[in-house]
Amino acid sequence: MASTIFSTSSSLPTAVKGLDCNTYKPTLGNFPSSSSPAPKPLFPVVRATSDGPVKTGLSDAECEAAVAAGNVPEAPPVPPTPLAPAGTPVVPSLPLSRRPRRTRRSPALRAAFQETSISPANFVYPLFIHEGEEDTPIGAMPGCYRFGWRHGLLEEVAKARDVGVNSIVLFPKVPDALKTPTGDEAYNEYGLVPRTIRMLKDKFPGIVIYTDVALDPYSSDGHDGIVREDGVIMNDETVHQLCKQAVAQARAGADVVSPSDMMDGRVGAIRDALDGAGFQQVLIMSYTAKYASSFYGPFREALDSNPRFGDKKTYQMNPANYREALVEVHEDESEGADILLVKPGLPYLDIIRQIRDNSPLPIAAYQVSGEYSMIKAGGILKMIDEEKVMMESLLCLRRAGADIILTYFALQAARCLCGEKR
């Protein structure tokens, strides 16, 4: 069961018993060999299986005196050396000064020396919302839905909070009729996202709400920025829109605004806009190293936000590039980002580790839709153990250096960590 691997406190009676067996020292006999006939033993024989403590009625001093006189209480026998199967070669032991398997011998030892841990507090749960009242299943992401913003969404958030997931990030499916080339619906204070934030904050005041800052759900072109007639994504004009979007989200009560657009200079501009509007306390989680990845496919289906033409390669990073991530890190740090995000997650562990080693800022990893769908599909086809692969993938993101993880598995994984079965 995954919880024994990932939780820090679990009772391990068998392991402890096993260890005791191996730390027993041979004991002397019960009586001085000279005396005859044998006196009545002072100490009853102690068995590991006897119920409750054995009382002799002796004082501490009498017990000590008895042992000093050679009348040593008996303990369970030293266990026999376990047998190897017939045919096992008999070899001299290797002269090893270090045997790394020692710290892996039992569940208790493994738990004691586990370097990385994971908790529901590390998860941010991405949630798709729409204007309707039904929860619409997302075909390419089994188990994920577009939630009605004041119906299914509230239930889902309540479920997540029940198992310790208090952070969510919202992704809206915007009606086509509201999409324009300049994505102005993105900063409508009565739009789907600001309305939903106010609803959630009213119902769950302690929740942490992250928002996505980018134009793609609002753009009739499906791009993260404004598209010029020659197909160029306009940088500075887009940043202007993103600042308005971030302020509208902050005004509604967003705790963390997360620019995922990859325009240059947007972190500094958004910081200025937030501060200018009195939102100094709102964090910026910058998508620092967001790659032009094919792992986003299911997400774009969920939001119906595929680019109408072309791809996102003129603003998202080339998956072949490693050093370039540091260029983005330096920009985001100097512009005032609070959290640096790497996306996708598992195929980009080297990028997470590089940033962890080069910046003191908190790091977020986004386990994106394609990663989620692959694990789900493998599980449904019974090719892998879905729950174990899910937990391992999340743990590996933490090991690489991520503090928080945006994952569609947040609820399922948190339930698993809480020892609940689905």
Query: Is 299 a binder of ligand PBG (CB under 6 A)?
Result: yes
Task: Report how far apart the first and last C-alpha atoms of the chain are (Å, whole number).
Answer: 13
Query: Is 289 a binder of ligand PBG (CB under 6 A)?
Result: no
Count residues near ligand PBG (CB under 6 A). 12
For 21, 25, 131, 257, 358, the CA distances from 146, given in Å and listed in that order, are 55, 63, 9, 21, 37
Query: Is 296 a binder of ligand PBG (CB under 6 A)?
Result: yes
Give the residue, chosen from 118, 227, 368, 394, that forms a contact with ligand PBG under the rule CB under 6 A. Answer: 368
**Cross-strand partners of 290:** 343
User: Residues with catalytic annotation?
Assistant: 290, 343
CB-nearer residue toward ligand PBG: 71 or 412:
412
CB-nearer residue toward ligand PBG: 126 or 152:
126
Helix H or strand E encompassing 314: none
- Give the per-residue contact string, 260-279, with ligand PBG (x = CB under 6 A; - = no): xx------------------
Specify the amino acid at residue 142. P
Quick check: 342 and 386 in contact, CB under 8 A?
Answer: no
For 2, 73, 298, 375, 393, the CA distances from 389, given in Å and listed in that order, are 10, 50, 19, 7, 6
CB-nearer residue toward ligand PBG: 325 or 368:
368
DSSP classification of residue 218: G
Helix (H/G/I), strand (E/B), else coil: 281: coil
Rounded to a whole number of angstroms, the minimum distance from the CB of residue 261 to ligand PBG is 6
d(CA 199, CA 108): 45
Q: Which residue is nearest to ligand PBG (CB)?
A: 299
CB-nearer residue toward ligand PBG: 15 or 214:
214
* Residue 60 CA from chain centroid, whole number: 52
Question: Which among 180, 276, 250, 188 has a CA at the least distance from the CA of 222?
Answer: 180
Question: Which among 114, 166, 107, 163 has a CA at the least distance from the CA of 418?
Answer: 163
**Neighbouring C-beta atoms of residue 268, cutoff 10 Å:** 17
Rounded to a whole number of angstroms, the minimum distance from the CB of residue 260 to ligand PBG is 4
Give the residue, chosen from 135, 156, 212, 387, that forms a contact with ligand PBG under the rule CB under 6 A. Answer: 212
Helix (H/G/I), strand (E/B), else coil: 211: strand
Query: Is 286 a binder of ligand PBG (CB under 6 A)?
Result: no
Query: Is 300 a binder of ligand PBG (CB under 6 A)?
Result: yes
d(CA 225, CA 266): 12
Query: Is 224 a binder of ligand PBG (CB under 6 A)?
Result: yes
CB-nearer residue toward ligand PBG: 156 or 224:
224
Q: Which stretch binds ligand PBG (CB under 6 A): 44-52, 102-110, 210-218, 265-273?
A: 210-218
Rounded to a whole number of angstroms, the minimum distance from the CB of residue 141 to ligand PBG is 8
Q: Which stretch binds ligand PBG (CB under 6 A): 45-53, 296-304, 383-391, 409-417?
A: 296-304
Helix (H/G/I), strand (E/B), else coil: 155: helix
Question: Which among 126, 119, 238, 131 has a CA at the least distance from the CA of 187?
Answer: 238
Query: Is 170 a binder of ligand PBG (CB under 6 A)?
Result: no
Query: Is 249 a binder of ligand PBG (CB under 6 A)?
Result: no
Give the residue, chosen from 124, 153, 214, 351, that forms a contact with ligand PBG under the rule CB under 6 A. Answer: 214
The contact set with ligand PBG (CB under 6 A) reads 212, 214, 216, 224, 260-261, 296, 299-300, 312, 368-369
